[in-house]
Amino acid sequence: MSTTPNPQRRAVTVGLFVLIGLIVFTVGVLTIGGMRKSFVSKITVKSVFDDVNGLKVGNNIWFSGVKVGTVKEISFSGNSMVSVLLNIEEKSQQYIRKDATVKISSDGLIGNKIVVIEGGTQKAEPIDDGDVLRVKREDSQQDMLNTLQANNKNILAITEDFKTIAQKIREGEGTVGKLLTNETLYRDLEATMTSLQNTANQAQSITASLNAYATKLNKPGGLANDVATDTLIMRNVRQTVSELSETAATARAMVAGLKQTTQELTQDLQNKNSPVGVLLNDQATATNIRSTVQNLESSSQKLDESLEALQSNFLLRGFFRKKEREERKKQETTVVVDSIKVKAQVVQ
């Protein structure tokens, strides 16, 4: 038998392997293209970053937790700025607004870098091809690491301070250290606290007494309750207060009048031309007044003597006796009338 391979069979075998390879290649291309959405219609927008933190071409773009595109191109733009072109699917275009912002984040804690689109309001229009989206400023991982390093240093310094404070307390330094190590100070503090507790108890007792006293005052039938609830008593109190106010006003007016009179009298006394001033200050006038008074007294005395002499005169003696009898009868009549009135009141 011949063992020489059949050329036709070999060709078929090679063709099958090539066909299988083409199928695998096509499936791989379609799969990778589907994952990267290479065959989906897209628009391109741009953002300019200060630092892309290791972002690469092909990294994913996310919006509200949904993958909407990939990074198309990364290039420098001007003064240390980095321009990033973003391929956005057209079907997601209507949901992303012109006032949306972009930022660079990580896919997980140590995953690949991604671009995240956030925000946007319904008042703004959807993005168009060639638009520029604003970059949202956030701390980078290096900034966070620097912050953590600074916090660690602060914690270390605080720990050292606590160690120093604890050492001083153990050695009895400072108020807390003396309080913990000095038995006398502790006893004094305990006595003070006991005194404060007693004072608080006494205050509570006084408060209870005041409450009881207030309850008695508010009890119906008591003076305070009657004053607060009896309208008649309150009306009388108001009337009394009003009368006292009127009396005080009258007294003030009287005092004001007396004050004015005193002022006028003082002015008259100081004014030597006024009648009172002349009487008090003019010696000649005072002498004349004294002489006049003396003359009047002398004339009155002489008139009394003349009347006594006329009563002794026999020509006028009858007249004076008749007048004396009439006066006596008038007095007797008055006594009788008064006695009659008294009896009438007794009978009634």
d(CA 91, CA 37) in angstroms, rounded, equals 12
CB 113 within 8 A of CB 60: no
The predicted pLDDT at position 163 comes to: 80
> pLDDT per residue over 168-179, tens digit each?
777 767 666 666
pTM above 0.85, yes or no: no
3-state SS assignment for residue 317: helix
3-state SS assignment for residue 228: helix
CB 122 within 8 A of CB 74: no
Burial 145-183, CB ≥16 within 10 A → b, else e: eeeeeeeeeeeeeeeeeeeeeeeebeeeeeeebeeeeee
DSSP state letter for 137: P
Burial 328-340, CB ≥16 within 10 A → b, else e: eeeeeeeeeeeee
Spatial CB neighbours of 126, under 8 Å, sequence gap ≥ 6: 93, 94, 95, 96, 97, 98
DSSP state letter for 204: H
- pLDDT by 10-residue block (mean), the chain, 348 residues: 63 79 78 60 88 87 89 86 90 88 80 86 88 79 75 86 77 67 73 86 86 73 63 74 83 83 70 61 69 75 68 61 76 72 60
DSSP string of 17-76, one letter each residue: HHHHHHHHHHHHHHHHHHHHTTTS-EEEEEEEES--TT--TT-EEEETTEEEEEEEEEEE
d(CA 134, CA 67) in angstroms, rounded, equals 19
d(CA 104, CA 48) in angstroms, rounded, equals 11
d(CA 327, CA 332) in angstroms, rounded, equals 9
Helices assigned H by DSSP within the chain = 7-36, 90-93, 141-170, 174-181, 183-218, 223-229, 231-270, 275-281, 283-312, 317-347
Closest CA to 117 of 125, 127, 130: 127
d(CA 57, CA 70) in angstroms, rounded, equals 8
Provide the angle, in degrees to the nearest 10, between the axes of the packed helices 141-170 and 174-181: 40
Burial 216-249, CB ≥16 within 10 A → b, else e: eeeeeeeeeeeeeeeeeeeeeeeeeeeeeeeeee
> pLDDT per residue over 156-214, tens digit each?
888 888 888 877 777 767 666 666 666 776 777 778 888 888 888 888 888 888 888 77
Closest CA to 46 of 107, 117, 111: 117
